[in-house]
Structure 1
């Protein structure tokens, strides 16, 4: 699969819903009911971050058992991360930044990558490599809507998924920018609701997120 085909897959994933939940999961047993609640609420693309030992098992379970879910992997730092996520059934990968080794691994992997950038120079470097869809991270600390909006004119080819510090209250500000397709947010799957098994609560948060582009 060449870079352009993989970019088309990334774009399709970014257009599934206004928000991609960024999930930190401690118990893989929560993965399937959580993902079903998100899908029921209108949020099919789910990024499970590699920040806990349960992450790969969670991805594997969602990929195997949750109809309608497009499960991806986040916090991808190395070639090993990328390979393990692909083996677990991830459909896309997200990284907080980029490195030469990670980009080389992505070139040799069938797993589409959404790489993170925080500066115009980084965005230009990624554009040179064929990446037209990027994660803007950390969105709020790096400059928020003002910086991202300022890139729209000089970098019109690029579409972003800003992530980092975004809440349900500020998501619409980002989604209103012409170069933003979706946002990433951790507010859809808060730790207290995961721990309590409050799947109805997560489904409600998903519904609210899905309505942000309405």
Structure 2
């Protein structure tokens, strides 16, 4: 089944930046998400890199008005199903496999943003009906210059570059014709979450929400 492009693009264009988060303590997920939403970043990607990430997603889904929580670093069908059960409204993967795309077909109402880093990977995803993709790892895979070079031959693909993207680098990506948003961890990194720096997270979220391309 092809990607629900309209629904996926709505998530990607809700704000110029999708925070990519590693949450160790679920008790901190709600105030963290509230700070992000207040700052203008409603789409929140909580990566499945910690033992209690699914719990954090569920708490945000159940308790934070205006938040659009999703699960990142999803690599298996089991993770996909658990993430949706926890309340994820979108799924992000670092790459794509036939198995992952098959399970995505079974949950078409929850968009998958699959990762790609090469022209061949993008072509494969386009062949499977996916036109809204994650470019990962963005900086390590060639950065904005490389991504720009894909815009003409693979014009149907639009991206969310993630991986090494910072506040300073984000505008360059956002100025590309094939970029809809960027993903970044600088807004709410592990230290800020651990220190409960909600004011700082909100301030960085406001700065990120105001970003435009250049």
TM-score w.r.t. length of structure 2 = 0.97
Report the equivalent of 2:90. Answer: 92
Report the equivalent of 1:206. Answer: 205
Q: 3-state SS of the aligned residue for 1:142?
A: coil
Report the equivalent of 1:45. Answer: 43
Structure 1 consecutive aligned stretches of length 4 or more whose deviation exceeds 2 Å: none
**Residues 68-79 of structure 1: pairs in structure 2 closer than 5 A:** 68-79=66-77
Q: 3-state SS of the aligned residue for 2:83?
A: helix
Question: What's the CA shift for 1:192?
Answer: 1.7
Question: What's the CA shift for 1:198?
Answer: 1.0
CA–CA distance in 2 between the matches of 1:16 and 1:108?
A: 25
CA–CA distance in 2 between the matches of 1:42 and 1:153?
A: 32
Say whether 1:134 aligns with 2:103.
Answer: no
CA–CA distance in 2 between the matches of 1:162 and 1:98?
A: 15
Q: Which runs of 5+ in 1 are unaligned?
A: none
Report the equivalent of 1:163. Answer: 162
Question: What's the CA shift for 1:100?
Answer: 1.4
Question: What's the CA shift for 1:29?
Answer: 0.4
Task: Please identify which structure carries the higher helix content.
Answer: 1
How big is each residue's C-alpha offset from its partner over 1:147-200, in whole Å with a ceiling of 9 and x where there is no partner?
A: 100011111111100000111010011001010000000001112211111101
Q: Which runs of 5+ in 2 are unaligned?
A: none
TM-score w.r.t. length of structure 1 = 0.97
CA–CA distance in 2 between the matches of 1:102 and 1:123?
A: 15
How big is each residue's C-alpha offset from its partner over 1:59-87, in whole Å with a ceiling of 9 and x where there is no partner?
A: 00000000000000000000001000000
CA–CA distance in 2 between the matches of 1:134 and 1:89?
A: 21
Question: What's the CA shift for 1:3?
Answer: 2.9
CA–CA distance in 2 between the matches of 1:202 and 1:106?
A: 32
CA–CA distance in 2 between the matches of 1:118 and 1:75?
A: 15
The RMSD of aligned alpha carbons is 1.0
Report the equivalent of 1:62. Answer: 60
Contact 2:33 2:64 in 1 (8 A): yes
